[in-house]
Amino acid sequence: EARDVAVEIFINSSECTMQRIAIVENKKLVQLLLEPVNSNFQVGNVYLGVVKQLLPGMNGIFVEIGSSRTALLEVNMHQYPHVFYGDKAQGNEEDGLRNKDGIVIDVNEEEIEETVDDPNGEEMEQSDGKTNVKPATVLRKIGAWRKVKRGTLMVVQVKKEALRQKGPQLTATVALAGRYWVLVPQVSTIGVTRKINGLERSRLKQLARELQPPGFGLTVRTEAVGRSREELEKDLARLMETWKSILERAEVAAAAGGKDPVPVLLQRAMGQTLRTVRDLFNNEVERFVVDSSQTYQEVTAYLQEIAPHLCDRVELYSGKEPIFEAFNLEAEIEKSSSKRVELPNGAYLVLEETEALVSIDVNGGVGMLGDATSQREAVLEVNLAAARKIATELRLRDIGGIIVVDFIDMEDPSHERLVFEEMRKAIERDRSKVVISEISEFGLMEMTRARDRPSVTSRVTDSCSCCGGTGRIESVEMTLSKIERAVKKILVTSLENFKTDQTLVSSLPGQPEEQL
């Protein structure tokens, strides 16, 4: 069924501001990818970071990677940190990571379920369920974490970009994504994307077992479907070479750090253009249109390595009109930052992004009028249309985190189930992991969508300097009330000052009473 979707990709390049990539399905804009030209600390970058502060109560570490805000690394005792102990590392092993009660953190030597998530959004599933981890392996990982202290050098990868007041989030588990594999050092699992089923799933699972390098975890990506062993081996070899290069650079940088180590970028994540080629450019894509000769050369050169048969689908746009205007995309992009989204029959959505969550309110239109039966059907139709549109808008705006949808109340539980199933079906094409709940008794559906970078709205808009980002300004009544209170305060202060002056004058010697 996925092959029935006609996909087109358009890239608007930029020399100094922001590159834009539009994904179009069946002539409709469904995804907008934005990347500032000077994006430094992007998801996937690998650094040799410097530990600045241990946060045992939060089970985390502040790590310096060169960003304006210190990055946070969440400690996971099932991960193995690649650490280097510099001359400036302070404390001893027992001063390392402890829990909030001051006791050295320990882990039971039991069966541990280790999961590998694709850093590029695909939801993964382990092939063999739980993995038996030898106690010696677990203890080795715990021992490595116990030695971490201020000044320790550690290989880390950016997991989430900085968002609002929060700095970047890091992980000690480096995941290297290729076209067909995700390679993860120091784990032993084999994962397969949930989108691969049947005999092909079994074939790829077996190939993964045969090709799995000792000491590495492997995850099979969607694009591996139908690929030969030779193609898969080639992609895996590239990833192994990349990891070898990262470790070599880390060792050199750690040795050169001396008494004052500084963070070092070990591996820059692939840029948005080539990442789009790697992750999205497949047989489903009818054409890949770019407006820069440099981008055209980069894309075709990369395709020669990974998918030569797709080179003839790359087009260089040379029209006079800007590429997004020529293909009627600019107007659609403008709508993507609006809080109001229109639905059929006059219904509409209102999307509000806040610090804590995103709220989506479904509002009915003229089709809601009529007798009880027709009204119930109209409510169902509006909610079904809303479910489809919400799935599209989440993907288009790249909204992540917690999302709460307030559907129009439905009296029939079967209608609620239909809306839930419609939403479940609508999110299938979203590459990010989306989890949805059934509609509650209050008519609310709770959702979570994986977020590793700011939303489109955050990228293209800033808080209003007048309203402070609330979207509202003070009413006339409130302003007048403030003026009234200020005048009263001035009058009271003036009266008190007058009385004080009288008291001072009366206390002066030789003052006649009639002068007072």
Q: Is the pLDDT of residue 369 over 70?
A: no
Q: What integer is the mean pLDDT of 358-372?
A: 76
Nearest to residue 361, comparing CAs of 445, 458, 420?
Answer: 445
| Contact predicate 445/437, CB 8 Å | yes
- Per-residue pLDDT tens for 378-435? 899 999 999 999 999 999 999 999 999 999 999 899 999 999 999 999 999 898 999 9
Please report how the helices 272-280 and 293-306 are oriented relative to each other, as an axis angle in degrees rounded to 10: 40
Q: Quick one: pLDDT at residue 195? A: 85
- Per-residue pLDDT tens for 294-339? 999 999 999 999 999 999 999 999 999 999 999 999 989 988 888 9
Nearest to residue 383, comparing CAs of 429, 336, 345?
Answer: 345
Q: Quick one: pLDDT at residue 367? A: 56
Burial class (CB in 10 A: 0-12, 13-18, 19+), 98: middle
Nearest to residue 277, comparing CAs of 256, 255, 259, 298?
Answer: 298
Q: Is the pLDDT of residue 352 over 60?
A: yes
**pTM (predicted TM-score):** 0.78
Token reading at 145: 């974490």
Polymer length in residues for the chain: 516
What pLDDT band is residue 127 in, cutting at 50, 70 and 90? very low
DSSP string, 416-434: HHHHHHHHHHHGGG-SS-E
Token reading at 113: 């379920």
Structural element, H or E, at residue 287? strand 285-290
Quote the CA–CA distance of 177 and 274 in Å, as a whole number.
Answer: 12
Q: Is the pLDDT of residue 288 over 90?
A: yes
Quote the CA–CA distance of 95 and 57 in Å, as a whole number.
Answer: 14
Report helix, strand or coil for 20: strand
Q: Is the pLDDT of residue 145 over 90?
A: no
Q: What angle do CA 277, 278, 281 make, to 5 degrees?
A: 50
Number of C-beta neighbours around residue 2 at 10 A: 11
What pLDDT band is residue 370 in, cutting at 50, 70 and 90? low
Mean pLDDT of the chain: 83
